[in-house]
Amino acid sequence: MSIRFLSLTLLATLGLGSAHAQKPTPNSKTPAKAPLKAYSAAGKTVKVYATAANTTQRLSAGADLAFAPAGQPLETQVCVFVDPGHSFQTMLGIGGALTDASAETFAKLPKAQQQEFLQAYYSPTKGIGYTLARTSIHSSDFSSGSYTYVADNDKALKTFSVKHDEQFRIPFIKQAMAAAGGKLTLYASPWSPPAWMKDSNNMLRGGKLLPAYRQAWADYYVKFIQTYERLGIPIWGLTVQNEPMATQKWESCIFTGEEERDFIKGFLGPTLAKAGLGGKKLIAWDHNRDLLTQRASAVLDDPQAAKYVWGVGYHWYETWTGSAMLFDNVRRVHETYPDKNLIFTEGCLEKFELATVNRWDLGEKYGMSMIGDFNAGTVGWTDWNVLLDETGGPNHVGNFCYAPIIADTKAGKLIYTNAYYYIGHFAKFIRPGAKRISAASNRDALQTTAFRNPDGTVAVVVMNQTDKPLDFQLWIAGQAAKTTAAPHSIMTMVL
């Protein structure tokens, strides 16, 4: 497969916000944002990269576009309007989760395919340039079995050891870091405390953390961070609990909003600070968009909890209820708590079938979510497993799912779903430190978002989910470049 890529300067991931930022008081005034320097598209050319159904285009470079003077657009003219003079949130990064399942699958690949995989995800020139990653604190469903880092009933955590992770996961993370240029913004999430810390005495099927073990569990996060960092893996941040309102057949633990608030302000926040880890970015919620506003208010309306929280994380699985993706809930939280950050922490397509890895809607769901999330104020976007095998696993409870890249471990080859390319239209061209800029379409058939990178390049993403080609103009400050969005396509225009 021959794919031309645009080479962009790889820029260091910026730290966003403060772990101890206070919510403004009602009488405080938020300083007005200074507009960016006036931007002119006159004389500029546009490089176009496209992925389209029923074609061979996969992040493929097309003919350059040229701007020409354009007056007031008519209502009959289809346009994507971009205004680089107005900016919003700053991009943290885009990436995926480095799970036990991904690590174990990676280890089964021939060396050549391992290197191909690392380059495909982490090279900013020959791949899509991932800069963000998530991993689990001991086991999740995407592990070959349940495990913890301590012996049963060891409240003092004297037996704490990540020896389990040293076989597959830690070497895998280190190789991903190296492929990304030596730095990867990595955060960690627990799926459940050890069984003996819970009222159910079971890591699976929900249950709650017993009050008697709240301090020991807070200490456990600290031990994890310190141990991983001692082994050469920096931890940028952590979430309080994966999916705290879901009783799953796999590792899970329930926290109400009040329980999460109280655990943060009474135990986890102070424990991190006491250990000298107060600068780690603490992320609340880490569950679906449907209850996002309620959880944000439960935690962030308490100043003693909010001072420890960097931001709020969320997933896309609210669609299990029959709902569409609830981007307005993300936007409401951004509007209500502008001093906090929003980060997409997990999403994947479930119920894996190897025969359907080429279905086009895999990528379109990613494109729709990423455009909607970024336009709602999100600063980072994290896919779920970066790699799974031909069964959609391994997964110790049979919860098999899709990943952007599937490894056929029997044949020793990699299968690239179109989700990989759709994510690449964002990750490759919108780099850490980029600022989202104003972008809007005058037709609902064209979805769009745009960012201005630290090096001055502007990246505009346009997606067409319809069955028809759509001619449109990229319109910037009285200059327009004409192009076409193919049926079921995504394109990134860089200028």
Residues belonging to the active site: 243, 346
CA nearest 249: which of 395, 150, 393? 395
Question: For residue 238, what are the β-bridge partners?
Answer: 188, 282
Strands 93-97 and 380-385, bridge-based pairing: parallel
∠ CA 21-449-446, rounded to 5°: 150
- The continuous run of DSSP H or E covering 214 comes out as helix 214-230
Orientation of helix 111-122 relative to helix 169-179, angle to 10°: 50
Distance CA 429, CA 446 (A): 19
Spatial neighbors of 413 by CB under 8 A, at least 6 apart, are 113, 407
CB burial class (10 A; 0-12, 13-18, 19+) of residue 467? exposed
Q: How far apart are CA 468 and CA 406, in angstroms?
A: 30
Asked whether 80 and 440 are in contact (CB, 8 A), the reply is yes
Query: Under DSSP, is residue 285 helix (H, G, I), strand (E, B) or coil?
Result: strand
**Residue 397, Cβ density class (10 Å: 0-12 exposed, 13-18 middle, ≥19 buried):** middle
In sequence order, which residues have a C-beta less than 8 Å from that of residue 447 and are 6 or more positions away? 367, 368, 371, 372, 441, 462, 463, 465
Residue ranges of alpha helices (H) inside 340-474 are 361-375, 418-427
Q: What is the DSSP letter of 170?
A: H
* Identity of residue 202: N
* Bridge partner list, 163: none
3-state SS string for 33-90? CCCCCCCCCCCCEEEEEEEECCCCCCCEECCCEECEECCCCCCCCCEEEEEEEEEEEE
* Crossing angle (nearest 10°) for helices 327-336 and 361-375: 20
For residue 113, the surrounding DSSP H or E stretch is: helix 111-122
% helix, strand, coil for the chain, step of 5: 25, 25, 45
Contact 417, 429 (CB under 8 A): no
Decide: 264 and 297 in contact? Cβ < 8 Å: no
